[in-house]
Amino acid sequence: MGSMGILFVLFIFLFIIAIASKPSPQRTLFFPVLAALYAYLFVFPKEEKGFQIAICTTALLGYASDLILFSEPQISFRREGQRKPVCEMALFERLYWAASLAFDWRGVQWSCQISNLQRSHLPRWAFVRSKLYRVITVYLLRDIVFFCLHRNPAFNRIDGERFGAHGFLWQTWNVLLFWFCVGASLYIAHSVASAIAVAVGLSEPRDWPDFFGPWLRTTSMRQFWGKTWHQMMRRPVTGAGKYLARNVLKFRAGSALSSYTQLYVAFVLSGIIHAAGDWMVMRNITSARLNIQFFIMQAMIITVEDMVIAAAKKFGITRIPFFVSYAWVICWMAWSGPMWLETVIQAEFSEGMPSVFLFQRLLNLLHINRLVGSAI
């Protein structure tokens, strides 16, 4: 483990200690220490492996601001089945409680659980079989997509072309491929972890809600970002917005001003989190700015959507054909996506897209690699 990894582990350890510490004004002193450790991460020379560390640490710092500065988690949050207050727990119990809260960014089985999670009701081994079957299926599909991306000049970091070099349809195709690869990789990691945890008895199937929401209900950008796409960043980016809207600006809870303040703060923080990963590798202010700009644009288009929907209702339009809604979501992501996705390729895949294995070996075995490669 390198120096950056050691600093990352120390950051996590102090974060857990801060959550486990009993409520007191002095507990807030943990935050400047965490902020100093976070800032020190960026003193290291740019490192290609630092992309994920920078994103994770930035998200944890945002989460820490909520759990250390804006709330008292031991008073505000309870876990399902918790039989006694945290202050009455032994030290090891408090640390375990704190670690569970620190790493469960969706708040599964907590009083702070985010809404719209699809929890499994399958028996233990049926759940494990289901997850493994889906992992194999998604892995094979991703393998084929990676094979195609290796032959796509838009995904070549060194001398690659722009996503839209051959028109908007080509740009749409490239964006969809990349979103699939990102989603598939996240889904595989989550599903493997859930299958192992349930198989060995560490948790129950209901502890592992689906990583993504229902794709067939993705009829708006609000639906996409709020329910369909993974909600792992929800807790780290919402605490500051709630505090700003309710405690600083004094907006009434549930009002439009409060909701949109939280919306924009959440997307600004999302942009900063992803820009941190980009900056760790690229050290390019323009590239980092594009990350933030992309996420702010998502908040802006959600605002426009809300205005259009409200206007449509005034004219008696309550339903829009589903294919129109799907086309809208795809077109918006295809148009806005490249400004962020192209920076991700430069930062995270600096040595090229991941190598394919099974599909490549199958083609080699059948001696048709050149034929398929030339066709693609």
226 near 217, Cβ under 8 Å?
no
Instruction: Verify that 156 and 98 share a domain, yes or no.
Output: no
Domain co-membership, 216 together with 284:
yes
> Both 205 and 318 in a single domain?
yes
Residue 79 backbone dihedrals phi, psi, to 5 degrees: -95, 150
Distance of CA 352 to the CA centre of its chain: 22
- With beta carbons less than 8 A apart as the criterion, state whether 212 and 230 touch: yes
- Whether 27 shows a pLDDT value over 80: the answer reads yes
Within 10 angstroms of residue 51's Cβ, the number of other Cβ atoms is 22
Other beta carbons within 10 angstroms of residue 164's beta carbon come to 18
Question: Do 134 and 208 meet the contact criterion of CB atoms below 8 Å apart?
Answer: no
Boundary-marking domain end, from 58, 74, 103: 103
- What range defines the domain where residue 162 resides? 124-359
Tell me, yes or no, whether 98 and 163 share the same domain. Answer: no
Q: Are 348 and 51 in contact (CB under 8 A)?
A: yes
Q: Do 133 and 55 lie in a common domain?
A: no
pTM (two decimals):
0.88
User: What total number of domains does the chain contain?
Assistant: 2
Cα 38 from Cα 337, distance rounded (Å): 28
Please tell me the distance from the alpha carbon of residue 152 to that of residue 163, in angstroms, as a whole number. Answer: 10
Q: Would the pLDDT of 115 be above 90?
A: no
What's the rounded mean pLDDT across residues 261-275? 96
Q: Once rounded to an integer, what is the mean pLDDT over residues 204-221?
A: 91
pLDDT at res. 97? 94
297 and 171 within one domain:
yes
Residue 183 identity (one-letter amino acid) = G
- Over the stretch 289-341, which tens digit does the pLDDT of each residue have? 999 999 999 999 999 999 999 999 898 888 888 889 999 999 999 999 999 98
Question: Do 274 and 340 meet the contact criterion of CB atoms below 8 Å apart?
Answer: yes
Same domain, 268 and 129: yes
Q: According to the model, what pLDDT value does residue 52 have?
A: 86
Q: Do 239 and 141 share a structural domain?
A: yes
Which candidate, 363, 342, 366, places its Cα nearest to that of 287? 342
Tens-digit pLDDT profile for residues 148-181: 888 888 887 666 688 888 899 999 999 999 999 9
Q: What are phi and psi of 110, to 5 degrees?
A: -115, 165
- Residues 132 and 49 reside in one and the same domain: no
Note whether 272 and 225 are same-domain residues.
yes
Confidence of residue 20 (pLDDT cuts 50, 70, 90): very high
Domain-located, residue 364 = no
- For the stretch 356-365, pLDDT in tens is 566 566 656 6
Q: 64: which 2 tokens?
A: 């820490």
Question: Which of 265, 246, 271, 230 lies closest to 114 in space, CA to CA?
Answer: 230
Among the ranges 109-118, 129-138, 362-371, which has the highest mean pLDDT value?
129-138
Place 372 in a pLDDT band, splitting at 50, 70 and 90. Answer: very low
Q: Same domain for 271 and 153?
A: yes
Average pLDDT, the chain: 88
Cα→Cα distances 98→11, 13, 18, Å? 14, 10, 8
Residue 102 to residue 7: CA distance in whole angstroms? 17
Q: Tell me: do 245 and 97 sit in the same domain.
A: no
Cβ burial 212-245 (10 Å sphere, 16+ → b, else e): bbeeeebbbbbbbbbbbbbbebbbbbbbbbbbbb
Query: Does residue 217 form part of some domain?
Result: yes
